[in-house]
Amino acid sequence: MDINFNKNEDYNKLLVSSMKQKLAKIKLGGGEKRIEKHHAKGKMTARERIDFLLDDKERSIEIGAFAGDGMYEEHGGCPSGGVVVKIGYVSGKQCIVVANDATVKAGAWFPITGKKNLRAQEIAIENRLPIIYLVDSAGVYLPMQDEIFPDKEHFGRIFRNNAVMSSMGITQVAAVMGSCVAGGAYLPIMSDEAIIVEKTGSIFLAGSYLVKAAIGESIDNETLGGATTHSEISGVTDYKAKDDKDALTRIQNIMDKIGDYDKAGYNHTKPAKPKEKPEEIYGILPKKRSDQYDMHEIIYRLVDNSEFEEYKEGYGQTIITGYARIDGWAVGIVANQRKIVRTKKGEMQFGGVIYSDSADKATRFIANCNQKKIPLVFLQDVTGFMVGSKSEHGGIIKDGAKMVNAVSNSVVPKFTIIIGNSYGAGNYAMCGKAYDPRLIAAWPSAELAVMGGTQAAKVLAQIETASMAKKGEKVDEEKEKEVFEKLKAKYDAQTSAYYAAARIWTDAIIDPLDTRKWISMGIEAANHAPIEKDFNMGVIQT
């Protein structure tokens, strides 16, 4: 190994270590004191509930752990968006679990909470995956109600999705393990089966104080909407549990009786580990995002037996396409090549840039995978499409549009891993969030933006200094540098993997060594949902 490998390895391991430290803090939710108060009520935390419920907590992936990171600081923050979401196994059945974290503002819904809950339901709908709700929430966070209540993708969409999933035959089970008030009361009752925990669980459209204010009736919350009331009088809930563990055990028993599902039929054989050492990814991936490396070396460390059958190897070389297996699942891989290559004509092509021939190759390969019913995996490290007169005259826009069209109309499940750069239209063509990947995750090295920080800051600085000069302000070299550095710092912060994950532009920031697990569990989830339409690219320019 050379010195650069060692430098890269140290740098990337530090990125992963930093990510895990940050995640450990986030997992404390509202903090240790609030966790102690929660335990004093005889309640488990959201994460403890999920760990108890799952067959194996290690055999799971978490969606949106960094949601809300750095947001709502003026309101005290909202770690993980105040809700924990995991895909795992309950009584041998793969499912998605959504648990309100009552240590964060009593489980109140911030705008990002709504977005994260909707993402969980979207995963359940796309994959026909059973969904379990562990409810413990004070409802909408009132100081921000205008950003969570009335719009199409706001709070009400949750209950609309409950109804749609029910009509689709997707199993929904809810356990009311704490407060469940106002509009939120509909969620468990629109599920297939609802459990409520004695003494701690309650459901009502309005609590005792509001009832008193509205109609003058004096009544305590337990009598108004506690476990006995809803299990023996109203019939709103189906089961009464004595405590959290009893409720979770009942869910396990319910899941244990669910029948098998119709499978999509994606090709799966006995899994095999890569022959090349996956941990060497840390040394291969360069410290500087502008440096070159060979994406083949990353692929060999992600796929079974390090076997990769490359498609059109000598053509359109700034995108790599080919077939492989990941944890036994057959996949088609579309990856950006990050080293400088030369065509047969001797022309140099820059790594990470999509050229016309690369887009043409990728389009054909994506169509082939749809024809063969092979899930697609996109490995992103892309700076965008090639610019300049030669590319424009050669029809780069037309070829790029074909690739975007193929990605958009794919009917096989797509999975996106952002390894490095994810800039501009390259993000779109390589199946960014807007193109419906079943799961999209980023490595800590990822950057998402319209363009790189340096380029963007230069453009913005030129505009700002020109505006200052027009106003008669003095603009010298020192001032230009000051403006540039300020803009670059701001832009760099917005391009970080954490900024994207906080807003759920990605589902997670993951250790590169967890990539195989994410893709494998994602394809297993997708196998619950048979393909219901044919691949059709519609009208395209030829």
pTM across the whole model: 0.93
Distances (CA, A) of 415 to 116, 173, 364: 18, 27, 18
Q: Which fold has domain 1-29+264-446+506-541?
A: 2-enoyl-CoA Hydratase; Chain A, domain 1 (3.90.226)
Task: Tell me, yes or no, if the two domains 1-29+264-446+506-541 and 31-256 fold the same way.
Answer: yes
Would you state the pLDDT for residue 282? Answer: 98
Q: Does domain 31-256 have CATH number 3.30.565.10?
A: no
Local mean pLDDT, 10-residue blocks, the chain (542 residues): 91 98 97 95 96 97 97 95 98 97 93 96 98 92 85 89 96 94 78 94 81 84 86 92 97 96 96 98 94 97 98 96 98 96 81 93 97 98 88 85 95 98 94 97 93 68 76 75 77 88 97 98 97 86 68
* 221: CB partners within 8 A, 6+ apart: 202, 204, 207, 208
Distances (CA, A) of 213 to 184, 207, 219, 226: 20, 10, 12, 20
Helix (H) / strand (E) containing 415? strand 414-423
Would you state the pLDDT for residue 183? Answer: 64
Distance CA 266, CA 330 (A): 7
Supply the angle between the helices 111-127 and 156-168 in degrees, to the nearest 10: 10
Domain positions in the chain: 1-29+264-446+506-541, 31-256, 452-495
What one-character-per-residue DSSP string does 314-342 give? TSSTTEEEEEEEETTEEEEEEEE--S-EE
Cβ atoms of 255 and 95 closer than 8 Å: yes
114: DSSP letter: H
Cβ atoms of 174 and 187 closer than 8 Å: yes
Cβ atoms of 310 and 320 closer than 8 Å: yes
Residue type, 531: I
165, 274, 262: which is closest to 519 by C-alpha?
A: 274
Distance CA 35, CA 29 (A): 8
CA atoms within 13 A on the CB side of 240: 16
